[in-house]
Structure 1
């Protein structure tokens, strides 16, 4: 599974979930409103955004479908909350996640900036430690080093969770770059998040195995989407005070339906009995 096509709103939501887990653990997991406020902070964010609640909720729901987040119930609260699953999905440790979160929330950074700005999430002792973390992210295809421009003393790095970020004129990356992806690209989720398969130049019969390989990540993505929707439906029913499984409503409906049938049968039998009595009371000719 590749996560190189996240939209800007998905990147921002994921970065906020990672950040707030360690900077405000007493408020984590985050409700939709808390997540919206975190996304739209005027500090420690570049660019500063003004996402509405619907945008944040939809981005969080999509992250759940991709396996990067999940619904979580808060203690003593019925509000729907979210937590990230980046550790499991990306197989990263705390230091790598902290650096990745800074790149997601603040864009291109130097190693020195990453060291100071990730300090609230993870303690990285030296610039050499930051360089090691960046090498791990680069090897995993999650970040890349940008070529120095004239007058720049330090290398800069950007994340690749949304493809290659927009760089300034004349700025290029060292190594292969990932294609940039529009936030509005049609038909991109969730199936297109799977690793792209090379075109098959062989005959029609040799293409079947590749098609089967393509289907497996799509089925897994759809299964995750169904589980996420089931969890959200159960949370909504619980918030409304309804049975999460809907058993009581169905049972009550069956009882009412059975009662109506019984009443109809009793009325019909009563009418037949009355007609029989009237017929027996008539005199014979």
Structure 2
């Protein structure tokens, strides 16, 4: 890929790719629907306020680079993405890249969870396999990795991943939230461990009751 995409271009590209899979009945998107998706408060990091003029400029740039096309027909102009074709991506890989574009840095486990509406991965290993494939891609002119693995943060058990389509790649945007996110993951791990212990105790009790019968 050539030059890096701007934050607005990334948000538009990611939104189009997401909505194709999650609301196919309304895809391709009108400009109003696209703006609503770009500026929604959920499933976005960071939350943005993309204006109509900014969106139109970004769309023109994306059309020139082959990432977006304008769909003719009807009274309203609609837009479609070409992320899969432009980057020669499989459907699962495109889902992962889309979620990285829209939500910033994530672990393989977080990506699997956040991709559920777009593609169901059997396990974390399958997510990691697609990430590693995108990270190892090469272009004729040199490295063309679409994602990269980041060093593990202190107190965490999983490495996070970032896309490489734009600058910044989200590290700065997520820096302030990292301690809080790490704490949330730690709390979640503790709750999961407690639940697993309770399930094991119940299973043991059931086995003892069945053995008596």
Fold shared by both chains (TM-score > 0.5)? yes
Spell out, residue by residue over 1:90-128, the C-alpha distance to the aligned partner (whole angstroms, 9 max, x if none).
Answer: 000110010001000000001011001011111111100
CA contact (8 A) 1:4 1:163 kept: no
CA distance, structure 1, for counterparts of residue 2 and residue 22 of structure 2: 25
Q: Residues 4, 126 of structure 1: CA spacing in aligned structure 2 closer, same or farther, 3 A cutoff?
A: farther
Provide, for residues 205-255 of structure 1, a one-character-per-residue CA deviation record: whole Å limited to 9, x for no partner.
xxxxxxxxxxxxxxxxxxxxxxxxxxxxxxxxxxxxxxxxxxxxxxxxxxx
CA contact (8 A) 2:4 2:165 kept: yes
Counterpart in the other structure of 1:158: 162
Work out whether residues 23 and 121 of structure 1, in 8 Å CA contact, stay in contact via their aligned partners in 2.
yes
The alignment's C-alpha RMSD in Å is: 1.6
Structure 2 residue 31 is matched with structure 1 residue 27: no
**Aligned mates of 1:101, 1:73 — CA distance in 2:** 25
Aligned to 1:11: 10
Q: Which runs of 5+ in 2 are unaligned?
A: 138-144, 176-213
Query: How does 1:195-234 map onto structure 2 within 5 Å?
Result: none
1:80 equivalenced with 2:77 (yes/no): yes
Structure 1 runs, 4 residues or longer, greater than 2 Å off: none
TM-score by length of 2: 0.75
Distance 1:45 1:64, change over 3 A: same
Q: Does 1:103 align with 2:100?
A: yes
How many residues were matched structurally?
167
SS of alignment partner, residue 121 of structure 1: coil
Deviations 1:168-223 (A, max 9, x none): 5xx9xxxxxxxxxxxxxxxxxxxxxxxxxxxxxxxxxxxxxxxxxxxxxxxxxxxx
Counterpart position of 1:118 = 115
Runs (5+) with no aligned partner, structure 1: 172-285
Compute the TM-score of the two structures, normalised by the length of structure 1. 0.56
Q: Distance in 1 between matches of 2:162 and 2:3?
A: 13
Rounded to whole Å, the distance in 1 between the matches of 2:32 and 2:116 is 26
Q: Which has the larger radius of gyration?
A: 1
Give distance in 2, aligned partners of 1:108 and 1:167. 7
Map of 1:1-285 to 2, 5 A cutoff?
A: 2-73=1-72, 77-140=74-137, 141-163=145-167, 165-167=169-171
Q: Any idea what SS the aligned residue of 1:148 has?
A: coil
SS at match of 1:157: strand
